[in-house]
Amino acid sequence: MNSRPPAIFLMGPTASGKTGVAVELVQKLPVELISVDSALVFRDMDIGTAKPDAATLARAPHHLIDIIAPTEAYSAAAFRHDALRLMADITARGKIPLLVGGTMLYFKALREGLSPLPQADAALRAELDAEIAQHGIEHLHAKLAKVDAETAARLHSTDTQRIQRAMEIYRLSGQPMSVLIKQQEQNPLPYRILPIALIPSDRAVLHQRIASRFTDMLKQGLLDELHGLREKFPLHRDMTSMRCVGYRQAWEFLEGEITEAELMEKGIAATRQLAKRQLTWLRSTPDIIELDCLAPGLAQTVLDILTNKLN
């Protein structure tokens, strides 16, 4: 295992200070940064994504920032493909890949591989829609239980979207979804991973940071940014980019659906929910090095740990 080249995973919830630590590490270690953030991939979405500014990116360039337009989509599979290519290039240059971000699904896809699930099929989806309309979703759930009892058992009998998808997968592949998920790519990541998680010792302080940051985003011109994006691109609210936290609430405000006070409240609440999901994922991830993101001297602590691990 130790013969494999190292790769650093620097993970944490939103507003935990990941970027600041990563920028400091670039100055001290032979690393190149790869962004692990599903929002930073979008060009022209700067304020609402808390994208590092030009001066920061000049000091510490990040791969996988500003790579697609807001009208495009980016997936965990695309990330895994791009990240593996970049990691190989960085290693070949004699440097260490440092993957930094908070999109936990991307870290999971990179580390564990992806389930070989078939793509959606419009014709089959229409057939299932008709079947549900005629017999009800509980009927389809019962049929799913006969061919994929494991998946059916974990789905509520009225969960239309997931039941339909599970049955679609079975009819397309001839295999239960539960079996396919277990057949994830068995190729281990060819790196010695050094996983560090920045987790707050006091969640209330993280919540204060989140509130302050969202307030600052509005002061910096989040609404003007979204207005400009809507003029520049043929956007609609269901696009992946516009479902990003902050932009979704700003869209509702520009449409007159919520007040300015509600925008603030909903934006902060959605960001806190995002942080909660990120922390839940991190706490269930084995073999990570947990550090208090609120502790003084955090960057130096991370540097000391990595220096020790890399030597």
**Mean predicted confidence (pLDDT) in 32-55:** 98
Give CA angle at 303 (301, 309), nearest 5°.
105
Q: Give the pLDDT confidence of 155-166 residue by residue, as tens digits.
A: 999 889 899 999
Give dist(CA 11, CA 199) in Å, integer: 9
Q: What is the mean pLDDT of the chain?
A: 94
pLDDT at 1 over 60: no
**pLDDT at position 118, please?**
84
Q: Which of 44-53, 119-128, 274-283 has the lowest mean pLDDT?
A: 119-128
- What percent of the chain is predicted at pLDDT more than 90? 87
Q: How many CA atoms lie within 13 A of 119 on its CB side?
A: 4
**pLDDT at position 186, please?**
58
Q: Which of 61, 17, 6 is nearest to 205 (CA)?
A: 17
Q: Spelled out in words, what is the top-level CATH class assigned to the domain 122-182?
A: mainly alpha
Q: Which CATH architecture has domain 6-114+186-310?
A: 3-Layer(aba) Sandwich (3.40)
pLDDT at 185 over 60: no
Cβ-based burial of 244 (10 A; exposed 0-12, middle 13-18, buried ≥19)? buried
**pLDDT at position 187, please?**
61
**pLDDT at position 120, please?**
83
Phi and psi based region of residue 214 (left: phi greater than 0; alpha: psi -120 to 50; beta: remaining): alpha
Which residue(s) pair with 289 in the sheet?
196
Dihedral sign, CA of 171, 173, 174, 179? Answer: negative
**pLDDT at position 238, please?**
87
Give dist(CA 170, CA 55) in Å, integer: 50
**Three-state SS string across the chain, please?**
CCCCCEEEEEECCCCCCHHHHHHHHHHHCCEEEEEECCCCCECCCCCCCCCCCHHHHHHCCEECCCCECCCCCCCHHHHHHHHHHHHHHHHHCCCEEEEEECCHHHHHHHHHCCCCCCCCCHHHHHHHHHHHHHHCHHHHHHHHHHHCHHHHHHCCCCCHHHHHHHHHHHHHHCCCHHHHHHCCCCCCCCCEEEEEEEECCCHHHHHHHHHHHHHHHHHHCHHHHHHHHHHHCCCCCCCCHHHCCCHHHHHHHHCCCCCHHHHHHHHHHHHHHHHHHHHHHHHCCCCCEEEECCCCCHHHHHHHHHHHHHC
Q: Do 6-114+186-310 and 122-182 show the same overall fold?
A: no
Instruction: With beta carbons less than 8 A apart as the criterion, state whether 274 and 213 touch.
Output: no
**Mean predicted confidence (pLDDT) in 51-73:** 97
Q: Tell me which range, 84-93, 125-134, 153-162, 167-176, is most confidently predicted by mean pLDDT.
A: 84-93
Cβ-based burial of 146 (10 A; exposed 0-12, middle 13-18, buried ≥19)? exposed
Every domain of the chain and the residues it spans: 6-114+186-310, 122-182
Which residue(s) pair with 301 in the sheet?
none
Q: Which of 95, 38, 98 is nearest to 72 (CA)?
A: 38
Instruction: With beta carbons less than 8 A apart as the criterion, state whether 76 and 105 touch.
Output: yes
Q: Which of 9-18, 38-47, 107-116 has the lowest mean pLDDT?
A: 107-116
Q: Give the pLDDT confidence of 221-232 residue by residue, as tens digits.
A: 999 999 999 999
> Residue 204 — very low, low, confident or very high, per pLDDT cuts 50/70/90?
very high
Give dist(CA 145, CA 5) in Å, integer: 45
Q: Give the pLDDT confidence of 236-285 residue by residue, as tens digits.
A: 998 999 999 999 999 999 999 999 999 999 999 999 999 999 999 999 99
> Residue 184 — very low, low, confident or very high, per pLDDT cuts 50/70/90?
low
